[in-house]
Structure 1
Amino acid sequence: MEIRGFTESDRDELRVLARRAGAGAPTESLWGHPESEAAIYLDPYMDLEPRSLFVAVRDGALIGYLAGCVDSAAFPGEDQRIDEAIRRYRLIFRRGPAAFFGRAALDTVGAKLRRLPTAGEFTDPRWPSHLHINVADEGRGTGAADALISRFLEHAAAAGSPGCHLQTVVENTRAVRFFERMGFAAHGAEPLVPGLRYRGGRVHQRTMVRAL
């Protein structure tokens, strides 16, 4: 297995991998429209910060990837990327996404009435870097995830970043345990993620941080 930086020739294969990686996780698919989800969580990293994007390769095929950012303040925010995707793909006119965003709106209103927080972006100069990681089934148990995380943290530290954060969901216990093993610790509250459901239940955001 090889861990290396993203190259433009990886683009098409990486987009295919992104559609199937993370299978079975609560965030496997948000609203059932892979193209718009990739436009939020993959394409901007390929286009704007390819030097912080790493891939795991085995037998000539991609089996995992890590999309990262050294300085989140200099990168388009998640809310901005979601808004752009909604407009570009006309998601409110598509049945699956429209149902998701309608449910999200109801969840948000309900949380406000109960004076409860909802999930949002994380900004703190102590942990300015962030990452998203996905590994396909055939890459699990190979050490690919560990190696991708280590490679990115080395990259971020070399760039002068003092720390890194990530956001997952409380209900993805496997991911939480993995990130804890990689040195990340839970930080802050665990607010509701509006719209998202896993096995019929609501899910909650967990922010995790690690100093570099």
Structure 2
Amino acid sequence: MRVRGFDDHDRTELRALFARAGRDSPTESLWGHIDSEAAVYLDPYMDLEPASLFVAEHDGALVGYLTGCVDTEAFPSEDTRITESLRRHRPFRSRQAAAFFGRSMIDAAAATLRRTPTAGDVHDPRWPAHLHINVAPEARGTGAATGLMDAWFDRLRTEQVPGCHLQTLVENARAARFFERMGFTPHGATPPVPGLRYRGARVHQLTMVRSF
């Protein structure tokens, strides 16, 4: 297993990996349209902060990746990225996408009426960096994820970043256990994620933080 920095020649293979790396997890696909999802959770990191993107390679093939950002405040917000992606790709002809965004609107409206929080970005100077990590099913348990996290931690220390946050799901217990082994601890509330369902049930955002 080899972990290295992202190279622009990785784009095509990395996009293919993005489409399959989350298989069997609660976030395997959010609204069922890979191009528009990649425009939110992969492409901006390749374009805007490639130095914070790492890949895991085995036998010449990419099997995992980590996208990071050392300063969340300087990076386009998730809402901004989603809005731009939907404007560009218009995935609503997909039944899954239409259902997801319809539920999102209903969930958000219900939360407003009940005055309850919903999932959102973290803005805290103690943990200004953030990351997303994905490993292909065949590479789970091989050390790929640990190697990616170690490379990311080295970058944060080099940049003298005081801390990092990430967001996963309460229902993704395997991911939460891995992040705890990597030194992250749960932080704050666990609000429901608008629109997202897993096996027919609502899921809840889990924010985790790590200081350096």
TM-score (norm 2): 0.98
Residue 181 of structure 1 pairs with residue 181 of structure 2: yes
Q: What amino acid sits opposite 1:15 in the alignment?
A: R
Q: Which residue of 1 aligns with 2:149?
A: 149
Q: Which residue of 2 aligns with 1:20?
A: 20
**CA-to-aligned-CA distance 1:50-71 (integer Å, 9 cap, x gap):** 0000000010000000000111
Distance 1:24 1:92 in 2: 24
Distance 2:90 2:176 in 1: 33
Distance 1:101 1:91 in 2: 10
Distance 1:125 1:152 in 2: 18
| 1:6 positional shift | 0.3
| 1:114 positional shift | 2.1
Q: Percent identity?
A: 65
Q: How does 1:19-168 map to 2 (within 5 A)?
A: 19-168=19-168
| 1:92 positional shift | 3.6
Distance 1:20 1:91 in 2: 19
Distance 2:115 2:123 in 1: 22
8 Å contact from structure 2 (residues 129, 164) kept in 1: yes
8 Å contact from structure 2 (residues 45, 67) kept in 1: yes
| 1:93 positional shift | 4.2
Q: Which residue of 2 aligns with 1:10?
A: 10
**Structure 2 unmatched ranges of 5 or more:** none
**Structure 1 unmatched ranges of 5 or more:** none
Distance 2:57 2:90 in 1: 35
**CA-to-aligned-CA distance 1:5-30 (integer Å, 9 cap, x gap):** 00011100000000000111111100
Distance 1:98 1:30 in 2: 11
8 Å contact from structure 2 (residues 32, 94) kept in 1: no
Distance 1:33 1:115 in 2: 31
- Say which SS state the counterpart of residue 88 (structure 1) adopts: helix
Q: What amino acid sits opposite 1:31 in the alignment?
A: W
**CA-to-aligned-CA distance 1:118-142 (integer Å, 9 cap, x gap):** 0011111100010000000111111
Please provide the CA RMSD for this pair: 0.9
**CA-to-aligned-CA distance 1:158-193 (integer Å, 9 cap, x gap):** 111100000001000010111011100000000110
Distance 1:155 1:68 in 2: 10
Distance 1:3 1:91 in 2: 34
**CA-to-aligned-CA distance 1:34-54 (integer Å, 9 cap, x gap):** 110000000001011000000
Q: Which residue of 1 aligns with 2:190?
A: 190
- Say which SS state the counterpart of residue 18 (structure 1) adopts: helix
- Say which SS state the counterpart of residue 152 (structure 1) adopts: helix
Q: Which residue of 2 aligns with 1:199?
A: 199
Distance 1:84 1:92 in 2: 14
